[in-house]
């Protein structure tokens, strides 16, 4: 087979509902992968990046959400990108590698030579084409993308060959400063490797009659045979055996675990649009359309009064109405929201169908990592005129007629 005919598929892990309570209250009505960043659903960003790879045959989304949550999105994105995108629902937890293995027949349908594995909640530039080239040069079974960070790194890589020498999950002491970016490329050998792990585990269980005490000590005691984790069960044991390599990137990289981080990442993608798709960003000088500062996305159906001032880092979704004299800075405004005259929104996320009253103020300090560092209004929250909401989280369907600060409102 010619190298140029080698097909490639991508698998994006999207997670599931009960696992991600950290994304509340935004996750109450919308699955996290569909939450919009820079005007597009979170999962859209890795999907668009995959589309740039040549010979991409299919994209698979694997997760625990009900199929119907993804039906509309998957069919519309397949149409738009002219490439099959399918959602595969896992029936039970099998670990990050176990899930991949479970769907191996579907994934290998087109006989791909390489399989990308991406985590949906990673925000980065997705340098997938370069990563694939590097992987082919290394000639191993898998390549993990890595980045230098000021954290407890999990990966140790050979500086010359880039081979993955050592991998440890969540180290408590210093091991390295290279972190796992959650993007992988594998050859189909990965399925054999995963199967070996299951088989080995089964053999262990059969061979030894563990005493109760031993059984309690065994690290695999809790896991069924087909539960295989990518980190501990594949990366760790295969490190140092000339099978796994690393690809280092220098670009921005964040994990989108909390609503606060989604605001930060929305900003990162908006600033990336400035280089990759500047036509998506809004412009305006305050004469016939609102004054736009910095990187701003405004959905075509949104109506923003010309005397409003928007930005930097603002994303406005469909059917939003922003009234005269309103000021929006560093915020995400979701569908059907009404921001009334002279209101101010800073460092906040305003949930679907909410209403921000005249002269009211919704703001936060802007610390993306603090629990109350970004103000979050859930779906259908009404902030009455002149009310001030600071550093707070408000659950759906509440009406605020008194000012609040540093509070979670159930």
Tokens coding 380 = 């259908």
- Distance, CA of 58 to CA of 190 (rounded, Å): 18
C-alpha–C-alpha distance, residues 60 and 63, integer Å: 10
357, two tokens? 């009253």
The SS3 call for residue 401 is: coil
Count, residues in the chain: 410
- Smallest distance, Å, CB 29 to other proteins? 12
Token pair, residue 119, equals: 């985590």
Tell me whether residue 23 or residue 297 sits nearer to other proteins (CB atom): 23
Query: Which residues pair with residue 89 across a beta bridge?
Result: 63
Cβ 396 to other proteins, closest distance in Å?
A: 8
Asked if 402 touches other proteins (CB under 8 A), the answer is: no
* Number of residues near other proteins (by CB under 8 A): 12
Stretch that binds other proteins, among 19-27, 73-81, 227-235, 348-356 (CB under 8 A): 19-27
User: At closest approach, how far in Å is the CB of 408 from other proteins?
Assistant: 4
Kindly state whether residue 257 participates in binding other proteins, applying the rule CB under 8 A.
no
Asked if 89 is part of the footprint of other proteins (rule: CB under 8 A), the reply reads: no
Nearer to other proteins, 17 or 240 (CB): 17
Residue from 6, 7, 24, 404 in contact with other proteins (CB under 8 A):
24
Q: Assess 398 for contact with other proteins (CB under 8 A).
A: yes
21 binds other proteins (CB under 8 A): yes
Stretch that binds other proteins, among 20-28, 43-51, 173-181, 233-241 (CB under 8 A): 20-28
Binder among 55, 220, 396, 404 for other proteins (CB under 8 A): 396
Asked whether 393 and 372 are in contact (CB, 8 A), the reply is yes
How far apart CA 66 and CA 79 sit, in angstroms, is: 21
- Residue 18, interface with other proteins (CB under 8 A)? yes
348 with 364: CB under 8 angstroms?
Answer: yes
- The least CB distance from residue 35 to other proteins, in Å, is 16
Q: Which residues of 299-332 are buried (b: 16+ CB within 10 A; e: fewer)?
A: beebebeeebbbbebbbbbebbbbbebbbbbbbb
Q: How many CB atoms lie within 10 A of CB 22?
A: 12
From 111, 148, 397, 405, residue interacting with other proteins (rule: CB under 8 A)? 397
Which residues would be at the binding site for other proteins (CB under 8 A)? 18, 21, 24-25, 28, 393, 395-398, 408, 410
């Amino acid at each position: 087979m010619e190298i140029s005919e080698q097909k490639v598929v991508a698998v994006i892990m999207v997670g599931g509902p009960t696992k991600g309570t950290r994304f509340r209250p935004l996750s109450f009505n919308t699955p996290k992968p569909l939450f919009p960043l820079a005007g597009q659903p979170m999962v859209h960003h890795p999907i668009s990046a995959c589309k740039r790879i040549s010979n991409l045959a299919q994209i698979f989304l694997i997760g625990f959400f009900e199929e119907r949550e993804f039906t509309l999105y998957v069919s519309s994105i397949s149409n738009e990108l002219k490439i099959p995108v399918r959602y595969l629902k896992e029936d039970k937890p099998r670990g990050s590698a176990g899930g991949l293995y479970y769907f191996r027949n579907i994934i290998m349908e087109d006989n791909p030579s390489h399989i990308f594995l991406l985590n949906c909640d990673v925000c980065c530039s997705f340098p997938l084409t370069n990563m694939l080239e590097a992987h082919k040069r290394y000639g191993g079974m898998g390549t993990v993308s890595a980045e230098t960070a000021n954290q407890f790194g999990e990966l140790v890589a050979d500086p010359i060959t880039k081979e993955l020498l050592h991998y440890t999950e969540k180290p408590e002491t210093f091991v390295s400063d290279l972190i796992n970016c959650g993007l992988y490329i594998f050859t189909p050998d990965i399925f054999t490797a995963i199967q070996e792990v299951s088989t080995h585990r089964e053999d262990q269980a059969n061979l030894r009659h563990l005493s109760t005490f031993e059984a309690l000590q065994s690290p695999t005691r809790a896991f069924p045979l087909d539960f295989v984790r990518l980190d501990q069960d594949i990366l760790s044991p295969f490190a140092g055996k000339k099978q796994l390599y690393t690809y280092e990137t220098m670009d921005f990289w964040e994990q989108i675990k909390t609503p606060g981080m989604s605001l930060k990442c929305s900003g990162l993608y908006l600033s990336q649009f400035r280089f990759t798709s500047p036509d998506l960003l809004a412009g305006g000088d305050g004469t016939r359309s609102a004054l736009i500062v910095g990187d701003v996305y405004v959905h075509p159906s949104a109506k923003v009064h010309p005397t409003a001032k928007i930005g930097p880092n603002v994303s406005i979704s469909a059917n939003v109405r922003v009234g005269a004299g309103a000021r929006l800075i560093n915020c995400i405004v979701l569908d059907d929201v009404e921001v009334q005259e002279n209101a101010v929104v800073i460092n906040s996320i305003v949930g679907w169908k909410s209403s921000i009253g005249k002269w009211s103020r919704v703001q936060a300090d802007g610390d993306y990592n603090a629990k109350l560092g970004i103000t979050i209004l859930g779906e259908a929250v009404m902030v009455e005129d002149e009310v001030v909401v600071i550093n707070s989280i408000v659950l759906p369907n509440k009406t605020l007629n008194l000012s609040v600060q540093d509070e979670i409102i159930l």
